Amino acid sequence: MPISEPRVLVTGGAGFIGSSLVKELQFDGFSPIVYDFKDAETSRRIADDADVVCGDVRDFERLRRIVQSVNGIIHLAAVSRVVWGYERPRECVDTNIQGTANVLEAARKSPKKPWVIYGSSREVYGEPEELPVRESAPKKVLNVYGMTKIAGENLCRQYHRNYGLNVGILRFSNVYGGVHDHLDRVVPEFIIRSLMGEEITIHGGRQIFDFTHISDTLEGIMRMMVTLDSNNGPYIDDFHILTGKPTSLQQLVEIIQKATRNRSEIIYGPARDYDVERFYGDPTKASNLLGYTARTSIEEGIAGYVPLLKEHLEEVL
């Protein structure tokens, strides 16, 4: 994918999506800079020895200095889980809103005027009124995390409108597929429990989600990069980066049990007030305008993820 200048900053570049993206960028000939609050040694190990800057997106001056040298920013740094936002709301607000404002302000003040890709979430819709969800659907957030993400999106729109920044907003949905993910998230946790023959707990039981493999998520980011880089004037738009196909948690467990050749007992616990229960999105807009299509089915994704997690567990246990 040709880009005019290959220097790209990835905030949260040592996280799950970020570290996977950095490897993809390196493979495609880019020179990514990882900006993450993890220590340098950990970040380099996770991100394949990329250029690493240890920093917090809440540190504007440090961020501003780094942004001077890049032509694009992929902003993934965040308090990145609903449950963390619920448990640590102030940190979630500070990081996700002030941190995003700092990224956009650093881009505004840079002589290069870099484009910005903002990693948002399906959580901005809350409990949707209609399925599948389109980008134009009402935003009725249920939790602090979703509130911070919609605030970040609104900041992106203001910086585009007021200062002419080129911005792409990408809404991700239940991304899975790597060992650097948080292993207590639903897909890796269910796989690990199944591998170990332990009970699997489902909170509620009505949940339906749009599970998106990491490779398809990266494809969406790369296509957004090309669109922003090739645009001649100020640009902003929002897109779903997802499959458009619903999978219930019961179906997910069945797929995992088949892949692990194990049948863990399913325990149903009470639903959590801050969780969205039902979501899958319409990817038509991303298909039409970005040429994006998610290609990995949930069955294929889980079949490939199980051996990765099994190998990881054998290394750490």
Query: Which domains, ranges and CATH numbers included, belong to the chain?
Result: 7-173+213-241 (3.40.50.720), 176-209+244-282+291-316 (3.90.25.10)
Q: Would the pTM count as exceeding 0.85?
A: yes
pLDDT tens figures, 36-73: 997 767 766 776 668 899 999 999 999 999 999 999 99
Residue 271 DSSP symbol:
P
Q: Give the pair of three-digit tokens for residue 226.
A: 């090309």
pLDDT tens figures, 252-291: 999 999 999 988 888 988 888 888 899 999 999 999 999 9
pLDDT at 173 (0 to 100): 98
Cβ contacts of 115 within 8 Å, gap of 6 or more: 71, 72, 73, 165, 166, 167, 168, 225, 228, 229, 231, 235
pLDDT tens figures, 76-104: 999 999 999 999 999 999 999 999 999 99
Residue 43 DSSP symbol:
H
pLDDT tens figures, 137-176: 999 999 999 999 999 999 999 999 999 999 999 999 999 9
CA distance 280 to 283: 10
CA distance 230 to 209: 33
Q: What is the CA radius of gyration of the chain?
A: 19
Interior CA angle at 56 toward 50 and 60, to 5°? 110
CA distance 203 to 158: 38
pLDDT(232) > 70: yes
The question of whether 274 is a catalytic residue gets the answer: no
On whether the CB atoms of residues 204 and 272 are closer than 8 A, the answer is yes
pLDDT at 274 (0 to 100): 83
pLDDT(182) > 90: no
- Neighbour-count burial of 245, counting CB atoms closer than 10 A to its CB (0-12 exposed, 13-18 middle, 19+ buried): middle
- Give the DSSP H/E element, type plus range, for residue 51: strand 51-54
One of 35, 118, 145, 280 is an active-site residue; which one? 145
pLDDT(2) > 70: no
CA distance 84 to 267: 23
Over residues 178-191, the mean pLDDT reads: 90
